[in-house]
Amino acid sequence: GTAKIYIYSGITSTVSSSFATPGTAARGLTMDASGNLLSCNASTNGPGKKIFIHAGFTSTISSSFAIPAGDPHGLTLASAGGC
């Protein structure tokens, strides 16, 4: 099936919304200071190994860039805003 990102209603098991991930192997999520979701794809299939910057918490991709090496398995932002 299609990999999805789920939006939960608070800290509950209730899913309020969901959308398809931009890749086939989502491996990490984080939010930037502006409230934009960042996700990463760890597969060479589909769009390849990339980090995606979403427009807010939506499936719309504002920007993306290739991961230089390795297999991503998580994202976090440094206090200066870098991944």
pTM of the prediction? 0.80
pLDDT in tens, 17-69: 999 998 888 888 999 989 999 998 887 766 778 899 999 999 999 999 988 77
* pLDDT category of residue 72 using cuts at 50, 70 and 90: confident
**CA angle (72 as vertex; 37, 43 as ends), nearest 5:** 95
> What proportions of the chain, in percent to the nearest 5, are helix, strand and coil?
0, 40, 60
pLDDT at 1 over 60: no
Structural tokens at position 45: 């299939």
| pLDDT confidence bin for 73, thresholds 50/70/90 | confident
Q: Which residues pair with 39 in a beta bridge?
A: 29, 52
Phi-psi region of 35 (alpha: psi -120 to 50; beta: other; left: phi over 0): left
Q: CA end-to-end span of the chain, whole Å?
A: 29
